[in-house]
Amino acid sequence: MNSPSTQFVTSRGMGIYEPIHQIGMWGENFKSNGNPNIPTSMIVAADTKLDCQSEDTSHGSLGPPYKYDQEANKPRDRVQRRLAQNREAARKSRLRKKAYVQQLESSRLKLVQLEQELERARQQGLYLGSGVDTGHPWNSGTVNAGIAAFEMEYGNWLEEQSNQICELRKALSAQIRDAEMRFLVENVMSHYSKLFRMKATAAKADVFYVMSGMWLTSAERFFLWIGGFRPSELLKVLASQLDTLTEQQIVEVCNLRQSCQQAEDALSQGLEKLQQIIADTVAVIPFPEPTYTPEMACAVEKLDAPVRFVQQADYLRQETLQQMSRILTTRQAARGLLALGEYFERLRALSSLWATRPHEGAQSFKGE
């Protein structure tokens, strides 16, 4: 039984189902609900006309309207300063990235030179073998520059996220104006969008690296779903921290969670189908296989599909965040994003504690 929110199509005749229109219809569904609690962050303030009458112009004095303009421009000045700081941080990040990529390229050249020397030694009978096979690409020891760049960018992303969490925490405690709070919320949302773009580039370089979660901590990998967090679980984390939701907001959050679960199930089923197809294809390839066969070429072509699954999963994650921000008010969204950031920080802290825990085997050995 297919509802309008769960329409799927078959991709390339492979029997892999992909969700279409489901995420895109969320916005239309929420618009049609007629929610009276429209988030203030999504409302554009109407132009306000002020009657500016100058007083004592002969003495060069300025009246109350000028003072009002000065007060109104203060949030804008703070926003401009933050934008300038962000641009400077981005410039420094680009410089660090450039230096790191150059270092990687230098290391790659050294590895190539080392491989050539090992090959010459092997041909001369001086290299007796130690399990290293320089004739196969998976043992060549080359560095994937795309993944190395992603790891560096992700480290910078985590550092910036930590700063944003601190800013949100201070802003919620200080009760700043809605305009400033809206700026912080949009900045955090843009930061998550940047992560999804970084992952899309990394998936093209090595999709299995992204899907395996090697760039995450062990506790985060425990909850991994197609290269990231599961959106429906994300909504549980956010909703549990918001005790001021109206009845209409609760209904919309429940509808959004149900749509997320339907899309997640569709993607999971499609990925399982793809795994079965690739397994069946590889099973019939003769062994020892030549470097190229039609069966092997077919299997390699199907390996492009996981990239699309990562992209669709990240699209679902991004749309979930955006829809949640539309349902909530500006301050509710700020509290939700703060709770989300702190949740991931606790997962990373849990991984560190797990890695540094006392080992029972070592303790029992010392006791003996």
- Among the candidates 72, 101, 130, a domain finishes at 130
Do residues 197 and 269 both lie within one domain?
Answer: yes
Q: How far apart are CA 336 and CA 281, in angstroms?
A: 45
Q: How far apart are CA 345 and CA 351, in angstroms?
A: 10
- What domain range is 324 assigned to? 145-356
- Among the candidates 95, 130, 165, a domain finishes at 130
How far is C-alpha 71 from the chain's CA centre?
Answer: 37
Do residues 194 and 326 both lie within one domain?
Answer: yes
Do residues 109 and 248 both lie within one domain?
Answer: no
Instruction: Please state which of the ranges 54-58, 138-142, 310-314, 354-358 shows the lowest mean pLDDT.
Output: 54-58
Instruction: Please state which of the ranges 198-202, 260-264, 266-270, 292-296 shows the lowest mean pLDDT.
Output: 292-296
Half-sphere exposure of 338 (CA within 13 A, CB side): 18
Dihedral of the alpha carbons of 304, 307, 309, 315, in degrees to the nearest 10: -150
Do residues 203 and 107 both lie within one domain?
Answer: no
* Domain count across the chain: 2
Tell me: the pLDDT tens digits for 93-123?
888 878 777 777 777 776 766 666 665 555 5
- 157 vs 355: which has the higher pLDDT: 157
Q: Please provide the average confidence, as pLDDT, over all residues in the chain.
A: 75
Q: How far apart are CA 198 and CA 204, in angstroms?
A: 10
Is 93 inside any structural domain? Answer: yes
Is 67 inside any structural domain? Answer: no
Do residues 149 and 109 both lie within one domain?
Answer: no
Do residues 100 and 210 both lie within one domain?
Answer: no
Q: What is the number of residues in the chain?
A: 368
How confident is the model at residue 114, as a pLDDT? Answer: 66
Do residues 318 and 249 both lie within one domain?
Answer: yes
Whether the predicted pLDDT of 150 surpasses 80: yes
* Measured CA distances, 361 to 219, 352, 355, 367, 368 (Å): 22, 19, 15, 10, 11
State what percent of residues in the chain have pLDDT above 90: 41
Q: How far apart are CA 273 and CA 262, in angstroms?
A: 17
Range of 152-166, 229-243, 350-364 with top mean pLDDT: 152-166
Global pTM value: 0.62
How confident is the model at residue 58, as a pLDDT? Answer: 41
Is 21 inside any structural domain? Answer: no
Do residues 191 and 230 both lie within one domain?
Answer: yes
Do residues 329 and 248 both lie within one domain?
Answer: yes
How confident is the model at residue 142, as a pLDDT? Answer: 55
- 177 vs 175: which has the higher pLDDT: 177
Asked if 354 contacts 219 with a C-beta cutoff of 8 angstroms, the reply is yes
How far is C-alpha 28 from the chain's CA centre?
Answer: 25
Do residues 228 and 158 both lie within one domain?
Answer: yes
Instruction: Please state which of the ranges 66-70, 102-106, 160-164, 364-368 shows the lowest mean pLDDT.
Output: 364-368
Is 138 inside any structural domain? Answer: no
Do residues 178 and 224 both lie within one domain?
Answer: yes
Q: How far apart are CA 229 and CA 316, in angstroms?
A: 10
**Tokens representing 108?**
């790659």
Range of 6-10, 51-55, 77-81, 188-192 with top mean pLDDT: 188-192
Is 8 inside any structural domain? Answer: no
**Confidence grade of residue 206 (pLDDT, cut at 50, 70, 90):** very high
SS3 19: strand
Is 99 inside any structural domain? Answer: yes
Do residues 99 and 179 both lie within one domain?
Answer: no
How confident is the model at residue 67, as a pLDDT? Answer: 52
Helices of type H across the chain: 24-32, 64-123, 145-174, 178-205, 207-212, 218-222, 231-240, 247-283, 294-302, 305-327, 330-355, 360-367
Is 367 inside any structural domain? Answer: no
State what percent of residues in the chain have pLDDT above 70: 65
Is 334 inside any structural domain? Answer: yes
Asked if 151 contacts 124 with a C-beta cutoff of 8 angstroms, the reply is no
